[in-house]
Amino acid sequence: MNELENTIVAVLKTIHDPEIPVDIYELGLIYEVKIDAEKNVKIEMTLTSPNCPVAESMPREVEDKVAAIDGVYSSEVTIVFDPPWDKDMMSEEAKLELGFL
């Protein structure tokens, strides 16, 4: 990972799902982060369920926080539900935190 990508991941780790005390990156909600030559960032993410209460606000929070990173020109989040999220997508750290290990 390059420096900008590391910074983006660090910012993503500051955003938490309000129902689960783990950040969205460790939860496995971030499927892909693409950075083009002009530093436009495209993030593909999912939610724990299509009926998630933060379905409107969380993608906007991700876009805003990533767009505020020095060096990022723009940020765009796309919500996808394929593949559907499940607890196997969580990092070992998240599984430990939530008592799945």
CA distance 62 to 59: 5
Structure tokens that stand for 61 in this block:
């929070």
Distance CA 14, CA 36 (A): 23
Work out the end-to-end distance of the chain between its first and last CA atoms, rounded to an integer number of angstroms: 28
Q: What does the pLDDT average to over 31-47?
A: 96
- For 67-95, what is each residue's pLDDT tens digit? 999 999 999 999 999 999 998 999 999 99
Domains in the chain (CATH in brackets) are 3-86 (3.30.300.130)
Q: What is the mean pLDDT of residues 14-18?
A: 90
43/97: higher pLDDT: 43
Model confidence band, residue 1 (pLDDT cutoffs 50, 70, 90): low
Rounded distance, CA 45 to CA 31, Å? 5
Joined together, the tokens standing for residue 42 give: 């495209």
CA distance 2 to 5: 5
